[in-house]
Amino acid sequence: MKALNQRFAKKHLFLLFLASFLVRAVTFHFFIAPQERYRQPDSPDYHNCAMSLYINGCMHRVDTMEPIYWRTPGYPVYLNFFYKTFGIESYQFSDCRIAQILAIWLQILLSSLVPIILLYLTLMLTGILSISWATAWLYALHLGPILASCFLLTEALAIVFFSLFLFFFYRQLRTFGEPVKKTFWKTSLALGGIFLGIATWIRPMGEFVLVVAAILIFVLDRITWKIKLKKITLLVFTFLAITGPWYLRNYKLTGKFFFCPMFGPYLNSFCAPKILRDTLNEPLEKCIRYLYSQSKEKCRQETIAAYKQGKKYCPLFAPLQIAKPIIKAHPFLFFYNWIKEVLKTTFDLYSSQLVSFANNSFRYDPLEEFLGQKWAACVYKQNMPLSVRLLVFLEILFELLKWVGLLCGAWLFLLRTLFKRFRVSDQLKKIGALWLKVAPMIGAFLVMTGGFGYARLRLPVEPLMILLSLTFWWSIIKNRKPK
């Protein structure tokens, strides 16, 4: 505790960065790179998008020259920079190995800065050095972020900018139980919108987060309604200023404004097939293929009809039109399957990725996964080296402590404090306000993962979960009981 309470200087920040970098570098060099384990199920897709930029200079498929809408261009642009700078042997994924490895090394370097960002974010939110240091170090040594930084995927880079968004967004948000101070909200929200926009170019989550952020300002911020509207307007404006060019590109090609039309394929691939499986008693794979063929046929018919009328047609929303009637006819079944996947995202182990390495299945995702089976594979079913099994048990211990802290802290700092209408001690009031503005962001992120849940999807809010859990354990260690 004495070490944690030391005021941080440059040497402390450098040590945090160095430890974060070294553990990621060792993991990548000795464990991930030798067997090309950085090639995850979505990695070839990003490679193909980068190849389209390399060959065509734009996001169009190399074989058909059709525009690519399903992937945002941020990560392909990043990857294409290394393809052009260091060269490639052919268009095949494995023949771009050198450029890909160099791209991941820079990714690791940038990811190692996130614990420092979290240190400042946590200190700003809590004012407690011990919690701030503990959050930063736990994230630096956390298995999930370590593995994510080593994959040819979007999470590592997106989290860098999303963490900066969280810092500047929460810097200006003053909720109940907090003293009102003069804050430079214009600068904070402008920077928050910019960093959220950049994160959205890499991973299309910004539109949903923007709505959540606007609701938090509207409901929780202790300012006049006029200022609230100004804040929301500024945040939306800066976000659209960054993401606007991609909206305009898609409008120019289709006649419709959208950023990434993934919602329809998401429902048609993950949600509607499960409903058909449960109602028709057919294999899940058969249901997926059936809905895919229905979507493809609808695209073909509507494209021909639009061509005859000389109109633009955007076939991107055909999957949504196919899935929507099925979901509407069985809302409770849809809700049940959605919540089940959300729970899987919430309680899945990052160690599941180690299981996929052990059974050599890391290059593809199964059609469906079950949380109990994944935990069983991590704990005892899948054969793996003793050292890897030890990592699994360490993560399980960490998750148990984290969830005890989250559940007990939710009662102590949030529910109990709200019931008492913040008529509690100043310390409880401050931490209660922290829970009030951070917990909705966590919940919103988890709720939107109901199509296909797994641990990687909660990475952006994992630091916030660690932070809230630590507030409870800090109160236990300090023996601060509510009056």
Domain parsing of the chain, residue ranges: 150-259, 261-329, 338-359+366-478
The residue among 215, 145, 199 whose CA lies nearest residue 167 is 199
Q: How confident is the model at residue 98 (pLDDT cuts 50, 70, 90)?
A: very high
pLDDT value of residue 431:
86
Predicted confidence (pLDDT) per residue in 182-192, tens digit = 667 899 999 99
Q: How confident is the model at residue 451 (pLDDT cuts 50, 70, 90)?
A: confident
CB 472 within 8 A of CB 408: yes
The residue among 179, 150, 185 whose CA lies nearest residue 30 is 150
- Backbone dihedral angles phi then psi of residue 6, each to the nearest 5 degrees: -65, 140
Burial of 353 (0-12, 13-18, 19+ CB in 10 A): buried
CA torsion, ordered 23, 455, 462, 160, to nearest 10 deg: 60
Tokens 């930029």 — which residue? Answer: 53
Going 214 to 219 to 222 to 226, the CA torsion angle's sign is positive
Radius of gyration of the chain (CA): 23
The residue among 214, 325, 200, 309 whose CA lies nearest residue 258 is 200
Looking at residue 411, its amino acid is W
What is the model's pTM? Answer: 0.92
Q: How many CA atoms lie within 13 A of 184 on its CB side?
A: 6
Of 72-76, 236-240, 320-324, 405-409, the least confident? 320-324
pLDDT, average across residues 79-106: 93
CA pair distance 358, 31, nearest whole angstrom: 12
pLDDT value of residue 422:
64
